[in-house]
């Protein structure tokens, strides 16, 4: 499941995950870990960390777990200790190296997405939620993950449409099913 995206079903009641798209960065017997890709905060990267003073882009809420933690996804496989997630997507690595390479123009911040907090599941928990149909399982291309011109709602719709078939019709469902 690593590298796949979880797409919340349209009427998921949990406000932390309503209409969310979560990239799974780790999935094993100990549990699952990922980041909500479409919950932009009002916080800017350069306001959170002095080392990112050149990065004037929004930080995303990666999920409700450990909201004081700071993470990133990026397209740079050469970063020391970066973890491969899926084609052209890496998680974390040596933050000092990332900061230095941004400062020297060797890394384009447009190919880095910063998060506070993360989404986590205990052993078997995510598998159970998938069985209960709380999530749809899909894919996103790296260019869609890092495209800042795609707003939060449209990323959810894109992920749903990428599934194809009848389920893609869910992209047009209203927030409140009573309005349908």
Q: What is the pLDDT of residues 89-140, one digit of tens each?
A: 999 999 999 999 999 999 999 999 999 999 999 999 999 999 998 899 999 9
- For residue 173, give the CATH number of its domain: 3.40.1740.10
Contact yes or no for 45/115 (Cβ under 8 A): no
pLDDT of amino acid 15: 83
Q: Report the C-alpha gap between 94 and 154 in whole angstroms.
A: 32
pLDDT of amino acid 166: 74
pLDDT digits (tens, 9 = 90+) for 10-65: 877 788 898 999 999 999 999 999 999 999 999 999 999 999 998 999 999 999 99
Q: Report the C-alpha gap between 95 and 97 in whole angstroms.
A: 5
pLDDT of amino acid 176: 56
pLDDT digits (tens, 9 = 90+) for 70-86: 999 999 999 999 999 99
**pTM higher than 0.85:** yes
| Sign, Cα dihedral of 60, 66, 67, 69 | negative
Q: Report the C-alpha gap between 90 and 179 in whole angstroms.
A: 40
pLDDT of amino acid 179: 54
Contact yes or no for 7/156 (Cβ under 8 A): yes
Higher pLDDT, 164 or 137: 137
Residue 174 has pLDDT above 80, yes or no: no
Query: Domain range spanning residue 118?
Result: 5-179
The count of structural domains within the chain is 1
pLDDT of amino acid 175: 62
DSSP tag of 106: S
pLDDT of amino acid 39: 96
pLDDT of amino acid 129: 92
């Amino acid at each position: 499941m690593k590298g796949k995206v979880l797409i919340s079903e349209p009427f998921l009641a949990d406000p932390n995950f309503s209409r969310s798209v979560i990239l799974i960065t780790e999935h094993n017997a100990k549990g699952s870990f990922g980041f909500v890709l479409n919950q932009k905060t009002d916080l800017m990267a350069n306001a959170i960390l002095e080392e990112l003073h050149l990065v004037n882009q929004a930080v995303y809420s990666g999920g409700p777990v450990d909201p004081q933690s700071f993470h990133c996804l990026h397209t740079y496989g050469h970063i020391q200790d970066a973890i491969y997630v899926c084609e052209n997507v890496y998680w974390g690595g040596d933050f000092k190296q990332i900061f230095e390479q941004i400062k020297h123009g060797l890394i384009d911040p447009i190919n880095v997405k910063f998060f506070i907090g993360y989404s986590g599941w205990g052993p078997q928990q995510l598998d159970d939620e998938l069985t209960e149909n709380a999530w749809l399982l899909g894919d996103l291309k790296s260019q869609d993950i890092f495209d800042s011109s795609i707003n939060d709602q449209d990323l959810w719709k894109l992920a749903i449409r990428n599934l194809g078939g009848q389920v893609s019709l869910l992209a047009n469902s209203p927030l409140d099913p009573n309005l349908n």
